[in-house]
Structure 1
């Protein structure tokens, strides 16, 4: 998979301090555009899966099923609890989604279905998704009220029935449950050549302004306040100002530009094109930066898998995917959490390398 950042996570029996029935799951997609850990049941060894309890709906006594929608499709599975370890940080008692879990008998309801059914690691291209964007929960207060909201949580009752879910039981951003370094994270990716690279190795640093290696103050970062889902405003070239976000889980620079030649949705200009990106945070901060769009056909013909100039067409949205991350340090401040330098989440920030 091109521009597909993968990490490892360790899941353990909840309440064990990440010490019992643990398994490390490799090849999990790092996704700063979603919220919460979602792993395929088939990727979790049976002994560990058996140690992760399935949540139960108090009203019906049925197991809880969880749904999540992404740009490429949707996931359907159980709502379980685990202690989750990321490097040396532990999120204790974290609600997670286990995709394609045989513990769930019902099929995904119509209110969950979107685009492609991401039913297996082969379909997604990874063993799961680690959502570490700016939100603390995958739904939030909209799912915690007395009226159930379709598209998130269901009683496994055939057919599945939407249910409400208190915040403490919702699929949650693991960073928010760390005892320290829990106010956000930083993604660092190296700059790469215009014709790409076979691989690219970056780092994820937890916490912002909590340690000497994660300072925001004095870094010269552009800080853009966002809505609770990480969205702000932006435009590319002479395009309209539209919803914009920075998403490591997207493998291209996606925006609307009818002047660039396309091939199956990918931009294929005869020669590389530079475009100015204008960004506007909800805090009134405005900034400009540049991106370069290369010929996708030529890039795909190479043996490389990391590209900083791979672009696709998308209407009325600017999605600054992983190509935008190369050569930049990008910060994600969690909602309601202070990071110093006058920055309180939700926000994104970046430093050009």
Structure 2
């Protein structure tokens, strides 16, 4: 989710009121991925969130999960965004109104823990609370810290350390759903934590170095009993003109069951930041990543026009080779490609597209190619959690098939 929603909130806000012409066919529901058949699998669906009016939830993958408070009361919550670029469950406080989820204690008596999580285009603010999480047939073995977004028990987000990072996305439209399920290749989020009184908050650290991992918002998968070393997200292919919906499968565990082997996948070791290098048009981007929470690909292309939506607009459907190589450790070069089409030729009553690309960054060690949700269609992508062993190696690892 490092680059998520810039286009969702800008260009795609036009989609429900001004669809591009010339899309033609491809408006049916995509297929080709079997439905979940085991306790460690759950359906992931790209679709229009019916609760978000006027903004297309294009390329946003959703799951339904259950959250339980420490008293044992539970609520099922739908339209939770599956995000392999962040870590931890973040859910709107209004999405779990029946649960008793008091904020964790802050550093001083009577104060509470708050967190500001920042993305490339804004921030989310909320409290940190203890809950158990169930997804499909998997459940955390203990209560874990989750973030309650827009929790009214906290004062306003601190300024400028939090609010100075961009617009407030602590709402249904900003999130693109009722919450975010961060299941990338790390256990905890290393966010910005605060101890909050009635009217103000004090930063506990600037980089979570002083916050124990056990108190940080954390990846629920890491707290499952057996299938706790990573995930596989498999999505069907979609037509170049898009599909109304697309349903895939999220499988928990790597090499722990008969359904989660990644033998034969191309493996890439991630560096301590979760990144690898991507070579595109002869330029190297040393901080690249694969992120289902980014609703587009973000990759800088030279010699390609940009349309009024801010998307690249080649003449006709075009493919651009990308070579992925690890910055450290395991893996050899992986040759792949991104597909790009002029989005103004698409019908945005469809929700699933594999060929929309926006400008990324300049090349260099800190530049990135963000392989977002379009990259997942027609592929299985595995994420091995940092420090967790799998038959293919110790995470953080990416696997692509």
TM-score under structure 1 length normalisation: 0.90
- Per-residue CA distance 1:32-76 (angstroms, 9 max, x = gap): 00000000111112x21x2x2310024444111111012332110
Post-superposition CA distance 1:122-149 (Å, at most 9, x none)? 332211110000010001xxxxxxxxxx
Secondary structure of the residue aligned to 2:139 is strand
The equivalent of 2:88 in structure 1 is: 36
d(CA) in 1 for partners of 2:121, 2:60: 14
In the alignment, the residues of structure 2 paired with residue 112 and residue 105 of structure 1 have an alpha-carbon distance, to the nearest angstrom, of 13
- How far residue 160 of structure 1 moved from its aligned partner, in angstroms, is 1.3
State the shift of 1:229 in Å.
3.7
Q: How many residues align?
A: 329
Determine if contact 1:134/1:228 at 8 Å carries over to the other structure.
Answer: no
Aligned residue for 2:294, secondary structure, equals coil
Residue 116 of structure 2 contacts residue 157 of structure 2 at CA under 8 Å; is this kept in 1? no
Aligned to 1:108: 158
- Name the CA shift for 1:319/1:279 in 2 (closer, same or farther; >3 Å): same
Q: Secondary structure at the match of 2:336?
A: strand
Superposed CA RMSD: 1.5
The match for 2:137 is 88
Determine the C-alpha separation between the residues in 2 that align with 1:290 and 1:65: 41
Aligned partner of residue 114 in structure 2, secondary structure: strand
* Paired residue secondary structure (1:185): strand
User: What residue in structure 2 maps to residue 271 of structure 1?
Assistant: 316
Checking the alignment, whether the CA contact within 8 Å between 1:135 and 1:229 is kept in structure 2 is: no
Question: 2:69 maps to what in 1?
Answer: 13
Q: CA deviation at 1:303?
A: 2.7
Name the SS for the 1:324 alignment partner: helix
Q: Which of 281, 304, 307 is equivalent to 1:237?
A: 281
Distance in 1, Cα, partners of 2:65 & 2:117: 20
Q: After the TM superposition, which parts of structure 1 deviate over 6 Å for at least 4 consecutive aligned residues?
A: none
Contact kept, 8 Å, 2:277 with 2:284, in 1: the verdict is no
Structure 1: runs of 5+ lacking an equivalent: 140-150
Larger RCO, structures 1/2 (Cα 8 Å, 6+ apart): 2
Q: Distance in 1 between matches of 2:373 and 2:285?
A: 21
Equivalences for residues 1-353 of structure 1 within 5 A:
1-14=57-70, 20-45=72-97, 47-48=98-99, 50=100, 52-91=101-140, 92-113=142-163, 114-139=165-190, 152-157=192-197, 158-163=199-204, 164-217=210-263, 220-263=264-307, 264-281=309-326, 282-283=328-329, 284-299=331-346, 301-315=347-361, 316-341=367-392, 343-351=393-401
Query: Structure 1 residues 86-95 or 117-126, which shifts more?
Result: 117-126
